[in-house]
Each structure stands twice: as structure tokens, then as C-alpha cells.
Amino acid sequence: MNIDWNAAEYHSNFSFVYKYGEELTGLFTLKKGSRVADVGCGSGVLTQKLRTMGYDAFGIDNSAEMIALAKRNAPDMHFIRADATQFTLEEPADGIFSNAVFHWIDDHDLLAQNLARNLRTGGELVCEFGGKGCAEAVHGALEDIFAERGLKYRRTFNFKSIGEFAPVLERHGLVPTYCTLFPRPTLQAEGESGLKNWILTFLKEPFAGIEAGEREDIIAEAERRLRPALCKDGQWYIDYMRIRIKAVKVQ
């Protein structure tokens, strides 16, 4: 994954991430007591939700800050610091859950291979992440503004369509049984600062090496250009697209 998190700030200001993920848990059809790994568990809110559903849930995240926060939030639960593409469980899980994570991972083949390796045959993968076109208005505006200043805007997200991601899963024995790609304009916290806070939190790499003053100017120009489309009554909405998939391991 290609970002360092301020865990407490993320948990507070971007609570919509795990709140939207709650309905995703309902795609599981596993029996109570099944072992479920929450991959990219963040602060552990959805790991706890899985436990309330009767699953033997535990969390995996590559961020030391997020794991520390998850352990503080749920000290009686098990959390592991590990990379989603490299973790190894002592025995395969019955289910793997992941919300708002896979678009941060560059190599989806390596990811799918590792998920399949850690999932029992017949086990279920349930995931949601940013899909094709996610936040395109924001990325497009920043790309234009960077270019006007002689800068290159680096797109660091791995957004895929169903037609691009489903075959990746199938190559590794994970057969999709449910797939959808849908728009979800998402309200940001902090009112007028909503777009700025979103950019500063999620777009750190594109701004690497840019001085603070120029960064502020770029963000201000993005706010000006995007206000007619993304700001309503002083509240910013990011033009999210989400891909949601359930798959079953067949081999």
C-alpha cells in the first residue's frame, strides 16, 4: 500500500469509510463461529461488527498506527500487522472481508493469489473498494492544474471495472458470484474544508516534493473549479465509484 496514515484523524474525519462498509458484511453466508479475516481492518470497527454477527473475526493491516488504534478500540480481539499481499495464516480462513483497501494495492494479481492461498476451498471473499472512475472529477481537475504549472500529476490508485477485476480473481480460483459497480457521491466532514481535507489525506504522493505554498494554491484552484459540481450548501461531496464483489474459492 502506498500511504502513511494519521490513524486517529482518519478514524474521526472519515468515519463514512467504515459506516458504508457495514452493509457489506451482510453478503456473507457463513455459519456462526466461522473464522473471518478483515484485511485492511484499519481502526477495527468492521472487525468488531463481524464479531457481533457471530464470526470469529480478526484484523490484518499494514499500518502500525492503525493496528495500535484497533487494539485500543478492541483490546480483546486479535489484530495482526501484515501486508495484504504477503500475510500467511496458520490455517486458511473461512471468510475474508475487505472494505476500501484494494484500490491502494498496485498488484491485484499478487493480492488475489495471496487471498486465495489463505482462504479454504468453499470459503467466501467479500470486498468493496474504489472502482473505475472513482473521484474522477477531483483527479481530472488536479491533473489539469498540475499540467498548467508544468507538473506531472501521479495517479496512485488502482481503480478497476468489474470486467478488469473479476478475471484477476478467477485466475486464482476465486469465482465471483456477485458483482456491482455503482456511483456513491460521498459527503465529507468539515464543511467548507471537506475537499481540502480529502486531498491532504488521500493524495499525499502526488503532492510529494511540492512546497506548501504551491500546494495550497493548487488546492484552492481545485476548490474553485470543482465547487459548481461537488459543493452543495457549503458541503463537499466526492464523486466516488465503488466496486463490490463476493467470490467463492473453488480450488
pTM for the full predicted model: 0.91
Residues paired with 235 in a beta bridge: 232
Strands 35-39 and 93-99: parallel
Q: What was the pLDDT predicted at 11?
A: 47
Q: What was the pLDDT predicted at 9?
A: 53
Q: Which residues of the chain have pLDDT under 50?
A: 1-2, 5, 7, 10-11, 13-15
Cα–Cα distances in angstroms (integers) from residue 224 to residues 35, 134, 192, 212, in the given order: 48, 20, 12, 18
Distance CA 20, CA 183 (A): 13
Contacts of 115 (CB under 8 A, 6+ apart): 39, 84, 96, 125, 172, 174
pLDDT digits (tens, 9 = 90+) for 112-163: 999 999 999 999 999 999 999 999 999 999 999 999 999 999 999 999 999 9
Q: Domains of the chain, with CATH numbers?
A: 7-134+157-188+240-249 (3.40.50.150)
Name the maximum alpha-carbon separation found in the chain. 56
Q: What was the pLDDT predicted at 22?
A: 80
